[in-house]
Amino acid sequence: MERAIERQRVLLEHLRPSSTSSSLENLSASVCAAGDSAAYQRNSVFGDDVVIVAAYRSPLCKAKRGGLKDTYPDDILAPVLKALIEKTNINPAEVGDIVVGSVLGAGSQRASECRMAAFYAGFPETVPVRTVNRQCSSGLQAVADVAAAIKAGFYDIGIGAGLESMTANPMAWEGSVNPKVKTMAQAQDCLLPMGITSENVAQKFSITRQEQDQAAVESHRKAAAATAAGRFKDEIIPIKTKIVDPKTGDEKPVTISVDDGIRPGTSLADLAKLKPVFRKDGSTTAGTSSQVSDGAGAVLLMKRSIALQKGLPILGVFRTFAAVGVPPSIMGIGPAVAIPAAVKAAGLQIDDIDLFEINEAFASQFVYCQKKLEIDPQKINVNGGAMAIGHPLGATGARCVATLLHEMKRRGRDCRFGVVSMCIGTGMGAAAVFERGDACDELCNAKAK
């Protein structure tokens, strides 16, 4: 009872989070509260809550080989942005800002492509657009930035989105590296290939090859089951595009409506045949790494009072966000530090969270985070993750928000709180807490016991 009362008190005051530091084993991590938009005074009917009224994504497709390989990045994002308008009937001119997470596209070029996508989607020239890059959490950071801006009173309605075409923009370092990097170990570790950081996590925390293979099998199994059951249909916006035959140059019009990287027949026996790809004596394989993908996602946020005025159903409530720093050499542990920070800021505990979407950058780090936080396997990535669905870097955060909120809606009263989290290249982690949209009342915002 005391625990419930304390959580109610904290939630009703809605937390002005204190500066938090987390530790993991012997490791320390710095927490960034920027964008942690839980700290604000709430009125008696929660009209100043920031809520999500729509969240959609494109299908995620294999880079260079999948259904979106011949699609311009702006043509991947535009249909998803357009869906937010069409499915909610909002006036696009009322949107105060569109923030798009993106990692690999050249800064000015990707910013221009996102602005062009907004025009293609039907937004007037009065609606501004900007991009944000926090590596693999860019899509989630975009959502958090919009939530923070709404709570700050900059505008009442905004869109947090994500876009990546890893076909158009492969991962590569442009230009020379500052030779000063050789003088500092932490700086050198920022340049480590992500696969090496996966091996470091596996080695340091004794994550076995079998555990990693099993996690990959489960990811494909759950994603295949979700696809077969139609559980992604509410979140996926089909993309009308073309496929170009590389031999003849012939173009074929197609509509892409499903993720094309999922392998339903993946087995432990198949994965056991794969060789390590980053270290000869390592345990990380192509099968236990996230897929290189093309895709986009978009989330429409606004004040609860505005949503009620417009009669829009509330899909979810944005509660808290935390970004943390961890050692670059084991960047994959990020969620194990970021999730406790975000959950604590929400006045909750890990056991209070009903669903987790943790990006599967690599099986090693995914398994580690699940074990470290002691998360019930029945609560985590219930519809599969990036090893099966794909990981278009800048879009992943927005994709995970859409997947989480639609699953929470399906589960109804049995699912109140959800978390999206991911590790971040160069040594960071990010996490956000969401509440199911119809779970609040005027008197208490604590979980019923």
pLDDT digits (tens, 9 = 90+) for 25-44: 455 555 655 444 443 344 43
Q: Is residue 184 part of a domain?
A: no
pLDDT tier for residue 3 given thresholds of 50, 70 and 90: low
Distance CA 314, CA 317 (A): 8
Q: Is residue 183 part of a domain?
A: no
**pLDDT value at position 414?**
86
Question: Could you tell me which residues come within 8 angstroms of residue 61 by beta carbon, excluding any fewer than 6 positions away?
Answer: 67, 68, 69, 256, 259, 260, 261, 293, 294, 295, 390
Examine the pLDDT at 425 and tell me if it is beyond 50: yes
335-363: pLDDT as tens digits: 999 999 999 999 999 999 999 999 999 99
| Whether 406 is catalytic | no
Are 162 and 101 a contacting pair, CB within 8 Å?
A: yes
Distance CA 59, CA 320 (A): 27
82-134: pLDDT as tens digits: 999 999 999 999 999 999 999 999 889 999 999 999 999 999 999 999 999 99
Helix axis angle, 138-152 to 396-411, nearest 10°: 70
Q: For the stretch 172-203, what's the b/e string if a residue is b when 16 or more beta carbons lie within 10 angstroms of its beta carbon?
A: eeeeeeeeeeeeeeeeebeebebbbbbbbbbe
Q: Which domain holds residue 69?
A: 2-168+189-431
- What is the token pair recorded at 438? 């119809």
Q: What is the pTM of this model?
A: 0.89
If you count DSSP H runs as helices and E runs as strands, how many of each does the chain have, helices first?
12, 14
**Residue tagged active-site, from 114, 369, 423, 440:** 423
| Whether 32 is catalytic | no
Residue found under tokens 């950071």: 141
CATH label of the domain that carries residue 143: 3.40.47.10
DSSP assignment of 372-424, as one string? HHT--GGGB-TT--TTTS---GGGHHHHHHHHHHHHHHHHGGG--EEEEEEEE
- What is the token pair recorded at 59? 């299908």
Q: Is residue 446 part of a domain?
A: no
Closest CA to 316 of 328, 332, 304: 304
Domain count of the chain? 1
Closest CA to 264 of 231, 216, 232: 216
Distance CA 438, CA 101 (A): 28
Q: Is residue 440 part of a domain?
A: no
> Dihedral of CA 11/143/401/55: which sign?
positive
Q: How many CB atoms lie within 10 A of CB 44?
A: 8
**Residue tagged active-site, from 391, 406, 415, 440:** 391
Closest CA to 366 of 192, 214, 171: 214
Q: Is residue 441 part of a domain?
A: no
**Residue tagged active-site, from 14, 61, 114, 136:** 136
Q: Is residue 179 part of a domain?
A: no
| Whether 136 is catalytic | yes
Phi-psi region of 378 (alpha: psi -120 to 50; beta: other; left: phi over 0): alpha
